[in-house]
């Protein structure tokens, strides 16, 4: 635990990738395989489900720290992170145990899950008293499932590859599915990650997908595309679908569907199960799961909100399946006849994918259509139809691009060229202190628009969105100061303020909602800019939002 806590501190103390890489290498070079197995799991984003309910954790910590409940709550709000707050309030054991990460996770922490409250009450303080402060914070982060530190999976992969003398892509391939809930890391699983290359590597992968290749955001005026991207003919252009990125793997008569988070989601989408029978073996397709329904001029893609409803449900009832049927927009072929095709150029993979779908005009599979244009300006014009088509913009894929790993740029490029977000001018009415870097700063805001047009008698502000990103640190500090000065009331962590600040809010989608006071829900709201030039009276009203609903 100490060694892992030390690694955490080193990773947390720097923003340099090289320093992080060095810290990872140092750790893995000396960690026992059992500890290393769990370290990879946590660093690569694996999270066991919460082991102890937060409420119980708070009660216990409040008791142990000898504080009144309200003071614990105040402290927590100032820190902005439960695990850290508790670690700052509990008495510290300066020595701390030398037991390793695996022992802690397997013998001390995981067994807590599902224990009756009384047993946890007795056990947890004993465990806490064994740890020095860094280990204590880490332990709490593991218990609450909130462990996060600024390293990418790619960086972990590189560290392991360097140590083991392997190609990073090989390690990435072996790591696929490592953090899936069904997988429990043990020494052997770590040793497999760093084992020497073997001949039957390909055979051993079972239902594993390939690491997803990700696109970069393109934020340039279209006039600069020619110089930055080159000729339009060198690019394969598609719509950017707004669904769930997924790989469909068909091998040995069996079908697996994986999400981009490398979670197995086969069971979530029974519509795709027929592919087990219809797709040939040794095929991996990359695409997007979307809800498709008859409507308008035929069958059309439905808003993400509908897909989201499906994700929220534990069981998929008949009605839900009928209301929100899915299909897969296929856009890439990663494996064909059991062979890894990722090192073939984009256009070749595409041709084979078209070929496959011609032979198998399969119901749940659609071929993501290509767009053609004789210039970037022409494509920009076509892109304007995005919103009415229910897509997010265009994807630009180099025709010669190989299929990379994550956000690599050395094997070819994918750009996402998204349309500008919706925007309205809204008024800040509530503020709450943030988490992490924003701890103790009022940085999470609720925004409102007017419920009537300018001049309407007694119009009021109706909250419709929360946002916390988009401001610079400097702006955030200024807003924080205004919030503190204009507070009307404080309820728990939230302050209501005299409306004085107007922001342009951007969001990706908008839908009717019964759960919101305004009757409207927006997707990915964030602050685009601070409208110093607008008074509160000049902010938008509900009619503006309703018009965006179309």
DSSP line for 239-256: E---SEEEEEEEETTEEE
Residue 82 binds another protein (CB under 8 A): no
Indicate the residue among 475 and 504 with the shorter CB distance to another protein: 475
Least gap, CB of 79 to another protein (angstroms):
6
Query: Is the separation of the CB atoms in 470 and 527 below 8 Å?
Result: yes
Please report, as residue ranges, which positions from 441 to 500 form the binding site for another protein (by CB under 8 A). Answer: 441, 473, 477-478, 480-481, 484
Indicate the residue among 42 and 76 with the shorter CB distance to another protein: 76
Residue 63 binds another protein (CB under 8 A): no
* 425 DSSP β-pair partners: 504
Report the C-alpha gap between 503 and 506 in whole angstroms. Answer: 9
* 240 DSSP β-pair partners: none
Choosing from 53, 70, 454, 517, the residue that interacts with another protein (CB under 8 A) is 70
Residue 65 binds another protein (CB under 8 A): yes
Apex CA 276: angle with CA 404 and CA 266, to 5°?
65
The one segment of 68-76, 225-233, 261-269, 503-511 that binds another protein by CB under 8 A? 68-76
Least gap, CB of 20 to another protein (angstroms):
12
Indicate the residue among 85 and 467 with the shorter CB distance to another protein: 85
3-state secondary structure of 330: strand
Choosing from 68, 116, 196, 455, the residue that interacts with another protein (CB under 8 A) is 68
Residue 84 binds another protein (CB under 8 A): yes
* Angstrom distances, CA of residue 11 to CA of 20, 295, 320, 325, 470: 5, 51, 44, 44, 25
Indicate the residue among 17 and 544 with the shorter CB distance to another protein: 17
Please report, as residue ranges, which positions from 13 to 52 form the binding site for another protein (by CB under 8 A). Answer: 13-15
* 284 DSSP β-pair partners: 249, 335
* 255 DSSP β-pair partners: 250
Choosing from 22, 64, 75, 129, the residue that interacts with another protein (CB under 8 A) is 75
Report the C-alpha gap between 526 and 507 in whole angstroms. Answer: 6
Please report, as residue ranges, which positions from 170 to 199 form the binding site for another protein (by CB under 8 A). Answer: none
Indicate the residue among 202 and 437 with the shorter CB distance to another protein: 437
Indicate the residue among 85 and 171 with the shorter CB distance to another protein: 85
Indicate the residue among 151 and 366 with the shorter CB distance to another protein: 151
Least gap, CB of 198 to another protein (angstroms):
40
Least gap, CB of 469 to another protein (angstroms):
15
Query: Is the separation of the CB atoms in 418 and 239 below 8 Å?
Result: no
DSSP line for 374-408: SSHHHHHHHHTTHHHHT--EEEEEETT----SBT-
Query: Is the separation of the CB atoms in 208 and 247 below 8 Å?
Result: no
Indicate the residue among 132 and 323 with the shorter CB distance to another protein: 132
SS (H, E, C) 115-182: CCHHHHHHHHHHHHCCCCHHHHHHHHHHHHCCCCCCCCHHHHHHHHHHHHCCCHHHHHHHHCCCCCCC
The one segment of 83-91, 97-105, 346-354, 402-410 that binds another protein by CB under 8 A? 83-91
The one segment of 120-128, 140-148, 257-265, 433-441 that binds another protein by CB under 8 A? 433-441
Alpha carbon of residue 294 to chain centroid: 30
Query: Is the separation of the CB atoms in 476 and 441 below 8 Å?
Result: yes
Choosing from 88, 154, 276, 300, the residue that interacts with another protein (CB under 8 A) is 88
Residue 440 binds another protein (CB under 8 A): yes
Choosing from 48, 80, 393, 525, the residue that interacts with another protein (CB under 8 A) is 80
The one segment of 8-16, 296-304, 424-432, 498-506 that binds another protein by CB under 8 A? 8-16
Residue 437 binds another protein (CB under 8 A): yes
Residue 74 binds another protein (CB under 8 A): yes
**How is residue 451 annotated by DSSP?**
S
Q: Say if residue 38 is exposed, middle or buried (CB neighbours under 10 Å; 0-12, 13-18, 19+).
A: buried
* Angstrom distances, CA of residue 61 to CA of 90, 105, 162, 371: 7, 20, 41, 58
Least gap, CB of 477 to another protein (angstroms):
4
* Angstrom distances, CA of residue 121 to CA of 107, 118, 420, 443: 17, 5, 51, 34
Helices (H), 176-286: 187-193, 225-229, 275-278
Least gap, CB of 512 to another protein (angstroms):
37
Report the C-alpha gap between 173 and 234 in whole angstroms. Answer: 29
Choosing from 153, 438, 446, 495, the residue that interacts with another protein (CB under 8 A) is 438
**How is residue 210 annotated by DSSP?**
P
Least gap, CB of 239 to another protein (angstroms):
38
Least gap, CB of 435 to another protein (angstroms):
7
Choosing from 406, 436, 453, 454, the residue that interacts with another protein (CB under 8 A) is 436
Indicate the residue among 65 and 402 with the shorter CB distance to another protein: 65
The one segment of 78-86, 352-360, 372-380, 526-534 that binds another protein by CB under 8 A? 78-86
Indicate the residue among 65 and 316 with the shorter CB distance to another protein: 65
Instruction: Return the residue matching tokens 């082991």.
Output: 51
Choosing from 265, 316, 439, 548, the residue that interacts with another protein (CB under 8 A) is 439
Residues that bind another protein (CB under 8 A): 12-15, 65, 67-68, 70-71, 74-75, 78-81, 84-85, 88-89, 435-441, 473, 477-478, 480-481, 484
């Amino acid at each position: 635990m100490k060694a892992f806590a030390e690694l955490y501190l080193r990773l947390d103390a720097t923003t340099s990738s090289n320093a992080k890489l060095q810290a990872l290498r140092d750790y893995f070079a000396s960690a026992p395989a059992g500890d290393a197995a769990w370290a990879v799991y946590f660093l690569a984003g694996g999270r066991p489900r919460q082991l102890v309910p937060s409420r119980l954790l708070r009660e216990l910590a409040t008791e142990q720290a000898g504080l009144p409940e309200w003071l614990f709550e105040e402290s927590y709000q100032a820190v902005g992170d439960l695990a850290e707050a508790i670690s700052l309030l509990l008495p510290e054991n300066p020595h701390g145990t030398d037991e390793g990460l695996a022992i802690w996770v397997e013998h001390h922490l995981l067994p807590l899950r599902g224990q009756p409250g009384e047993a946890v009450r007795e056990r947890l303080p004993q465990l806490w008293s064994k740890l020095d402060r860094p280990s204590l914070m880490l332990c709490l982060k593991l218990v609450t499932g909130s462990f996060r530190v600024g390293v990418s999976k790619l960086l972990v992969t590189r560290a392991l590859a360097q140590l083991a003398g392997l190609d990073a892509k090989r390690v990435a391939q072996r790591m696929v599915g490592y953090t899936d809930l069904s997988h429990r890391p043990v020494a052997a699983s770590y040793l497999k990650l760093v084992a020497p290359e073997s001949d039957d590597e390909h055979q051993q992968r079972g239902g594993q997908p390939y690491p997803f290749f990700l696109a970069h955001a393109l934020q340039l005026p279209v006039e600069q595309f020619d110089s930055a991207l080159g000729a339009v003919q060198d690019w394969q252009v598609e719509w950017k679908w707004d669904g769930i990125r997924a790989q469909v793997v068909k091998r040995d008569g069996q079908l697996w569907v994986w999400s981009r988070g490398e979670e197995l989601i086969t069971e979530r989408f029974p519509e795709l199960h027929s592919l087990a029978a219809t797709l040939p073996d040794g095929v991996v397709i990359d695409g997007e799961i979307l809800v498709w329904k008859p409507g308008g001029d035929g069958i059309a893609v439905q808003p993400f909100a509908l897909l989201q409803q499906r994700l929220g449900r534990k069981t998929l009832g008949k009605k839900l399946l009928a209301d929100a049927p899915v299909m897969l927009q296929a856009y890439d072929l990663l494996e064909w006849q059991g062979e890894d095709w990722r090192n073939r150029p984009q256009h070749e993979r595409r041709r084979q994918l078209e070929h496959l779908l011609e032979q198998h005009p399969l119901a749940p599979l659609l071929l993501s259509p290509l767009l053609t244009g004789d210039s970037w300006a022409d494509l920009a014009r076509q892109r304007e139809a995005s919103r009415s088509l229910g897509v997010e913009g265009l994807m630009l894929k180099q025709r010669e691009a190989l299929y990379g790993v994550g956000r690599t740029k050395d094997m070819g490029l994918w750009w996402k060229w998204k349309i500008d977000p919706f925007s309205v001018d809204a008024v800040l009415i509530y503020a709450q202190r943030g988490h992490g870097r924003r701890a103790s700063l009022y940085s999470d805001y609720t925004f409102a628009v007017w419920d009537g047009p300018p001049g309407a008698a007694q119009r009021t502000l109706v909250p419709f969105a929360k946002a916390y990103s988009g401001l610079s640190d400097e702006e955030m500090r200024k807003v924080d100061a205004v919030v503190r000065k204009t507070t009307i009331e404080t309820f728990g962590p939230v302050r209501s303020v005299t409306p004085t600040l107007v922001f342009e809010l951007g969001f990706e989608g908008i839908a009717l909602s019964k759960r919101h006071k305004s009757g409207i829900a927006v997707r990915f709201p964030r602050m685009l800019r601070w409208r110093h030039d607008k008074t509160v009276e000049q902010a938008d009203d509900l009619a503006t939002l309703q018009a965006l609903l179309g």
